[in-house]
A = this chain, B = another copy of it.
Amino acid sequence: MRRKIYLVAGANTISMGTGRKEFNPKKERPGLENYIHEAGQAVLKQVPNPSAIDETVIGNFMAAVFNKQGHLGGFAATIDPDLEFKPSLSVEGACASGGLAIISGIRSVMAETADVVLALGVEVQNTVKAIYGADFLAYAGWFQNRKKSHAYFFPGQFSDRAGAYYEKYGFDNARKGMGRWFRNAIENARLDPTAQEHHNTATDLEGLYHKMTPNGKNFVDHLNFFDCSKVSDGASGILIASEEGLKKLGVPCKDAVEIVGFAQLTRNITSDPPNPLDLTTIRKTAAKALENAGISIEQLGTIETHDCFSIAGILAVEALGLAAPGEGAAYVAAGKTARDGAMPMNTTGGLIGWGHPTGATGVHQAVTIWQQLTGNAGAAQIKLSPAKPYGLSINMGGDDVTVVAIVYKMCDE
């Protein structure tokens, strides 16, 4: 990093959708502009001098179809009049749009065209029934491929990956890991008041998971509903600042995390994944981010990874090198990714527990890591060893097509 870059003042709206007590599909609900405003305001309120913000970047995937609205950059000034007549744009890379917002902000600060960037992610998806929503989310895959593929396009893609995993490494072994992944997600979500599964009071989550077969509720072949992330409305925001930017905002370094490395790689959307058992782009991107940061995976205290489906969580464990190929499910089943495990992952519930407002997810991941590394995670706070002062986030768009990996470090002071 040619310039020191910090993240500070993370905030999330509630991840709204089925599971939340407040959610009523038949009543009118807040719109896209309300979520942008709420998350943006929640960020600004945390800093003494929000007028130091130079620029806004908004990550969003499909407001064009969910909300008949483009041009989201134009909403920056609705958060605060001080943001008017400053730069603002939106960035898109399917479900990695939030991660792209963060690295676009990082680039602006590194370019010295900004000292402080407000990065937001937003998606409001409950405007249509889930079956139509699944079709909109499929726009993350190539149109020509979708015509000859699964009706539920992305669940189908990851079902194929799960099926290949069952066949090569054993069904029971795989499902044990995936069931534990689900349990961790819900248990962590219960500790975060903004999580979509915060109100989930089910006991014996693994038992519940195993009672529902793959293909449960006439779904895809190799996954059931508990293997899937949520349909969510939500927004997250955070500030990206230089050292000078932190001073302008009036924020001490201890309230911030440092970005010590990042990478973003994109696979060809028109090709099939090289190997269904390998999240190739995640593997390459995470390795490059860690290399850029100059650290090894053992130095990480926590990881947020993109579990759009539980199998993506298991495969990410392997792609990151935490477990050898085929051993990811057992690694998870043994509790190693639980909040008190060797490598706590998705400590506020991830996409399955916290929720998946698609364009916001990458920003939410950064907010969670920021919360954990600065001691701002409330009931969801994990204990971090000073020997492991780093965090990593992995945000994925499409079927391992766009990946953003970011490495964070506790402030030295």
Seen from chain A, the residues whose Cβ lies within 8 Å of a Cβ on chain B are 2, 31, 33, 56, 61-62, 64-65, 67-78, 81, 84-94, 100, 104, 106-108, 110-113, 139-144, 264-271, 281, 284, 397-398, 401-402
Q: Hey, which chain B residues are within 8 Å of A266, CB to CB? A: 56, 73-74, 76-77, 84-89
A61 contacts which chain B residues (CB < 8 A)? Answer: 70
Q: How far is the CA of A144 from the CA of B88 in the complex (A)?
A: 20
This chain: how many copies in the complex? Answer: 2
* 30 A-B pairs (CB sep. < 8 Å): A33-B270, A61-B70, A68-B143, A69-B142, A70-B140, A71-B269, A71-B401, A73-B93, A74-B142, A74-B266, A74-B397, A75-B268, A78-B269, A84-B268, A85-B265, A86-B265, A87-B266, A88-B93, A88-B402, A89-B92, A89-B93, A89-B264, A89-B266, A89-B402, A90-B92, A90-B93, A91-B104, A107-B108, A107-B113, A110-B111
A75 touches B402 (CB 8 A): no
Partner of A143, one of B67, B94, B143: B67
User: Are the CB atoms of B267 and A111 closer together than 8 Å?
Assistant: no
Q: Given that A2-B112, A108-B107, A110-B113 are contacting pairs, would A140 and B401 also be in contact in the complex, using a CB cutoff of 8 Å?
A: no
Q: Is the CB of A139 within 8 A of B64?
A: yes
What is the predominant secondary structure among interface residues of chain A facing chain B?
A: mixed
User: Which residue of chain B lies nearest to A108 when distances are taken between CB atoms in the complex?
Assistant: B107
In the assembled complex, which residues on chain B have CB atoms less than 8 Å from the CB atom of A112? 2, 110
Question: A69 to B267, Cβ gap below 8 A?
Answer: no
Contact of A402 among B33, B73, B91, B269 (CB under 8 A): B73
A51 to chain B, nearest CB (A): 16
Whether B85 contacts A71 by the Cβ 8 Å rule is no
* Chain B: minimal CB distance from A65 (Å): 5
Q: With both chains docked as a complex, state the minimum distance between the C-beta of A60 and any C-beta of chain B, in angstroms.
A: 8
Q: Is the CB of A401 within 8 A of B74?
A: yes
Nearest chain B CB to A144 CB, angstrom units: 8
Query: In whole angstroms, how far apart are the Cα atoms of A140 and B70 in the complex?
Result: 5
Contacts of A92 in B (CB 8 A): 70-73, 89-92
CB of A227 to closest CB in B, whole Å: 23
Pair A71/B268 contact, Cβ less than 8 Å? no
Contacting residues, chain B, for A64 (C-beta < 8 A): 62, 64-65, 139
Of B94, B265, B281, which contacts A71 at CB under 8 A? B94
Known contacts A2-B112, A71-B141, then 19 further A-B pairs from the complex at CB < 8 Å, ordered by chain A residue: A33-B144, A65-B65, A69-B142, A69-B143, A70-B92, A71-B92, A71-B94, A71-B269, A71-B401, A74-B93, A74-B94, A86-B266, A88-B402, A89-B100, A89-B104, A89-B264, A90-B92, A91-B92, A108-B111
